[in-house]
Structure 1
Amino acid sequence: MSRPPTFTPPRCATPRTLHTARGDFAVLDALPPGGAENTGDGTAGGAEVKGTVLLLPGFTGSKEDFIALLEPLAAAGYRAVAVDGRGQYESPGPDAESAYAQGELARDVLAQAAALTKASGSAKTPAGSTRPHLLGHSLGGQIARAAALLEPRAFASLTLMSSGPAAIAPAQQARAKMLADALAVLSMDEVWQAMRAMEPPPPEDADTGGARADGGDDSEALRTRWLRNNPAQLIATGKQLSTEPDRVAELAAAALPTHVISGERDDTWPVPLLDDMAHRLHARRTVIRGAEHSPNTDRPEETAAALVSFWNHLSGTGTGTGS
């Protein structure tokens, strides 16, 4: 089971609201050294950055899933912006399932990218680096893919982290249906208590353990996050995970630089499926040793190094190779 996230952001990261043409979104905005004083629009206050990265969390997750990545990404010169999508944790959303159709969520991502691109234009960035790199974890990867297919020119690159070519594995589909059925008749708190009693948690990213590596306990923070998710969002996106078609050929035709990264074990999409997807995409492929479905929390330093190597290679500021 993947380790749960910590909920304490590093000093380089500022919780703020990202204003977009499609509404406001809660984000953690991490700036490189020298840009620690946020200017209000998230630009780096005079510091030069190599680029901006937009990070999309997975099912039942939130921007906090990327906390362990923020400091190493910022130290490498990248502004890293982790976002709660509509109906996730601190970004409110409507109560209608139709509001969480994949196309709607993808258009939210395009609006977020546009807002970040506008802000980056006023910061000191190398030429051509204002478009954000897009990274999606698990469900976030499928939403990221949908956004990239709508407008590939909006992004400098796409990274799919532990996010496969089509629907999740049958066992995970069963857990997603179980969760949706429970949400239809129980309160969010009642579902939380049921999830706490189950092993493994249903489905995918729903890690309900709270122990931290430093000996602390984030159980209450995890519960608070769960209770602030909109159940309509969870039901709608759970269905998407179970019915997503294979769109790899479409993405390959978009010719967007792509990176497929995962742990060496994954129960949501078997690793051979991720290997094959990377081959079909002609993408960089990285496997993080010792990690499972969430390399961002299992092995954050190694994961950050692989991500930075990919982005540096694209910008010509580094020559790292994939794993």
Structure 2
Amino acid sequence: MPYALSFLDKSPIHEQESSHLALAGTLSLARKAEELGFKRFWVAEHHNTAKLASSSPEVLIGFLLAQTKHIRIGSGGVMLQHYSAYKVAENFNLLAALAPGRVDLGVGKAPGGLPLSTRALQGAYDPVRKPSFEVQLRELAGFLQHDKSGKDGEDSLAAFPVPDLPPQGFLLGASIESAKLAASLGWGFVYAGHINGDEAAISEAISAYREAGGTTALLAASVVTAPTGQAIDLSHEIRRFRVEIEGGQGVNVGSEAQALEYVRQAGAIQYRIEERTPLLIQGSPETVHATFHRLHTAFGVEEFIIDCPATAPAQRLQTIELLGRARASLAA
């Protein structure tokens, strides 16, 4: 196969199950992905969301690394705007020292929640002194490379420990600007097709990444599959809405109600809400792989990050099993 498969999990809490069971389900998925040859297993970051257990990816990554053997484990992604770049670098350098060659640091620009949680996360920061996302990301990249801020004879700052192999950096985005920024840092670029699936936009962003010197292009997509390709109605799980508020950050949310709640919590008067069409690939495992192959050929995508919109653990596990086994069969 000319492309690799990876999986993104949000640790959804299905129906009345406990958060413990939801996280145990994430571990089962990671182990199955490893067994079936997936390249990476990533976990997301969401805040103040009762039905998602993945509020702290770096903690969950450490647990998954300890319970697996060779699959790469990472974040999809750390919401950098809330944190010190220095502390994020320390966290991931420590993870990489614990599991050499197995740690990915995916970083996103989104808040991972609504304004209430953002204010709670950033309440101790002086907004006047808060750096831009690009400045934060460049600082983070420097700390991961162990650049020193001081010159000879001056104080310097490094994010220890120094791992044998540093974490691999990825920028998650859906714009030409994000693609160029990733390339300028020598990072991988993950186009968030599971949020905005417009193929012209995908082509433009990945082309811009390549033209800027980027080397590792990945595409995230929502995938729904079943043994014979029968329809599974998950349409309510994959809707995406873009919220733009005057003087604030644009965000993507999963429902119109969430979009309006974002506006309310932000206290915005001038705003715009528009529905976006995510990249949804559905059908039999063979049909899904045929689509992967088409996208690989069209855009030079080297790897697909699979986002399964199902909340039921059995459906997410089935997605990994069907696609992993079909990949092995097609390769043979």
TM-score range, shorter chain: 0.3 to 0.5
**Of Structure 1 and Structure 2, which has the larger fraction of its residues in strand?**
2
TM-score, normalized by length of structure 2? 0.36
TM-score normalised over the length of structure 1:
0.36
Pick the structure with greater CA Rg: 2
